[in-house]
Amino acid sequence: MSVVSGRAVRDLHTDPFGERRSVHAPLSKQLLGGRFHFQSDSAALLALVEAAYGGLPPHRLPGQIPEFEIELKLLPGRSLRPVHEPPPVRMQAGAGMLCGVINAMNYVAISPAQRQALVVVSQDMLRFPYHLRYELIEFAVFILAARSQGLIPLHGACVGRQGRGVLLLGHSGAGKSTLALHSLLQGLDFLSEDAVLVQPENLLATGVANYLHMKDDALGLVDEDACRWIRYAPVIRRRSGVEKFEADLRNGPGRLAAAPLKLVGAVLLSSQLADHPAQLLRAVPADQIAARLSADQPYAAGQPGWLHFKQKLVDLGVHELRRGACPQDSVDALRQLLA
C-alpha cells in the first residue's frame, strides 16, 4: 500500500483537479491567422512554445483576429518506459472535443468551439522535445486554427513571390521539402514545407515556417553554405524511422513569407524525370483534377469547405511537375506559375 503525504492529501481534497497551480508569464503569438495565448506552470513547456513560434512573421487573415487559449500542464513522475520514442498518439473525438492521447499522463484535448486546448505531459516526456512539440503542442495549434476559422488543412508545402503562392502537393517522399528548400535558396518566399492552411473563399494560404526537415541524401545539389546550415542542425527521427535534419528556417538563408500568400495554382509532384526542361510542367486535365486532389488530400477532402476549395483550384488549373535534371529547372517552372 502506497503512503501519501499529508500535504498531498490536503491538495487532493482542496484542489483535486489541479486548478490552482501557479503559472509563469504567458506567451502570446500571432500565427495562422489567429492570436494564440499560451500559459503554463512549466518554464520548460513555454520554452518549447518559444522554440516553435518565436520570431515568425505574424500572419493575419481578413476579418477580426480570433483569440485562442492553450494551457500546458506538466505532471511530475514517470509515465513512459525508457524507449527511443514515446508510444504513438491515438486520436479520439466526442462531445465537441478532439483529443490526441499517448497515455493517461500525456495527451491534448481541444475544443474548437471554445477556441481552447489543454496539453498535459509528464516530466519524462520532456526527453522527447520533437514529439512533444510536433504531436501535442503544434497539433493543438493547427487544429484550433483550422477548425475555428474554417480553413482547409493540407499536407503540402507552399512557396511564392510578391504575395502570390503555389501549392506543392504529393505523397510523402515526393520531394516537397527539397523543392521548397531550393525555392528558398533561389529567392522565392517560403511559407511552409509540411502543412498549409487555406481560406477557401479567397485562397489565402498561411503556414508556420519554423523548421525544414531534410534527409542527408537530399543535400547533394545544395550549395556549401546552405549544406553547412542544415548539417549543423539537430537530427529528429520520424515515426516511420526516417531520420532528418531539423534546420531552423529563422536562422537560415532566404526569406520567409511575411504574410499569407494568394494561391495562383497548385502542382502535384511526380517522380518521373522530364525529357527536357521545357516539359517539366504538364497541365492536369480539368476532369481529373478533383479526383487527384481528393486522393492526394484524404483528410482535407472530408472537411467543410473542401468542395468550394477544390472547385477554386479546378478553375485556376493544377499542374503535374516532373523532375528536372537540376533543381534550378524545377524552381524556374514554379516561377512560370507565379509570373
- Among residues 125, 149, 173, which one ends one of the domains? 149
* pLDDT tens per residue, range 167-202: 999 987 778 999 999 999 999 999 999 999 999 999
324 & 203 share domain: yes
The pLDDT of residue 61 is 96
Residue-level pLDDT at 321:
93
**222, three cell numbers:** 545544395
Last residue of a domain, one of 149, 178, 196: 149
Category of 177 on φ-ψ map: left (φ > 0), alpha (ψ -120 to 50) or beta? alpha
- 92 in any annotated domain: yes
State whether 123 and 163 are in the same domain.
Answer: no
Please check whether residue 5 lies inside any domain of the structure.
no
Q: Give the phi and the psi of residue 79 in degrees, each rounded to 5.
A: -130, 0
Residues 186 and 308 in one domain: yes
Q: Are residues 116 and 188 in the same domain?
A: no
pLDDT-flagged residues of the chain (< 50) = 1-9
Yes or no: say if 76 and 21 are a contact pair by the CB < 8 Å rule.
no
Residue 24 pLDDT: 76
| 7: in domain | no
In a domain, 33, yes or no: yes
Nearest CA to 240 out of 296, 140, 173 is that of 173
Through-space distance between the first and last CA atoms of the chain, rounded to whole angstroms: 72
pLDDT of residue 8: 47
In this structure, the answer to whether residues 131 and 158 fall within a common structural domain is no
Total of domains in the chain: 2
pLDDT at 271: 82
Report the alpha-carbon distance of residue 85 to residue 238 in Å, rounded: 9
Task: Assess whether 197 and 310 both reside in one domain.
Answer: yes
pLDDT at 134 (0 to 100): 95
* Residue 6 belongs to a domain: no
- Convert the chain into a string of H (helix), E (strand) and C (coil): CCCCCHHHHHHHHHCCCCCCCCCCCCEEEEECCEEEEEEECCHHHHHHHHHHHCCCCCCCCCCCCCEEEEEEEEECCCCCCCCCCCCCCEEEEECCEEEEEEECCEEEEEECCCCEEEEEEEHHHHHCHHHHHHHHHHHHHHHHHHHHHCCEEEECEEEEECCEEEEEECCCCCCHHHHHHHHHHCCCEEEECCEEEEECCCCEEEECCCEEEECHHHCCCCCHHHHHHHHCCCEEECCCCCEEEEEEHHHCCCEECCCCEEEEEEEEEEEEECCCHHHCEEECCHHHHHHHHHHHCCCHHHCCCHHHHHHHHHHHCEEEEEECCCHHHHHHHHHHHHC
216 and 315 in a single domain? The answer is yes
Please give the pLDDT value at position 59. Answer: 96
Answer yes or no: is 14 within a domain: no
List Cα–Cα distances, 133 to 38, 48, 177, in angstroms.
13, 7, 20
Q: Are residues 327 and 231 in the same domain?
A: yes
Residue 160 one-letter amino acid: G
Domain at 213, CATH number? 3.40.50
Q: What's the domain range around 111?
A: 21-149
Q: What is the pLDDT of residue 159?
A: 98
Q: What integer pLDDT is reported at residue 16 of this predicted model?
A: 76
Residue 260 Cα distances to 63, 128, 164, 206, 250, angstroms: 13, 31, 9, 5, 17
CA distance 144 to 151: 10
Q: What pLDDT sits at residue 12?
A: 62
**Pair (66, 185) in one structural domain:** no
Question: Do 114 and 209 have their domain in common?
Answer: no
Q: Are residues 130 and 159 in the same domain?
A: no
Within 8 A by CB and 6+ apart from 247, the residues are 211, 212, 213, 214, 229, 230, 233
Q: Last residue of some domain: 119, 149, 179?
A: 149
Residue 241 placed within a domain: yes
In this structure, the answer to whether residues 144 and 163 fall within a common structural domain is no
Q: Please give the single-letter amino acid code of residue 66.
A: P
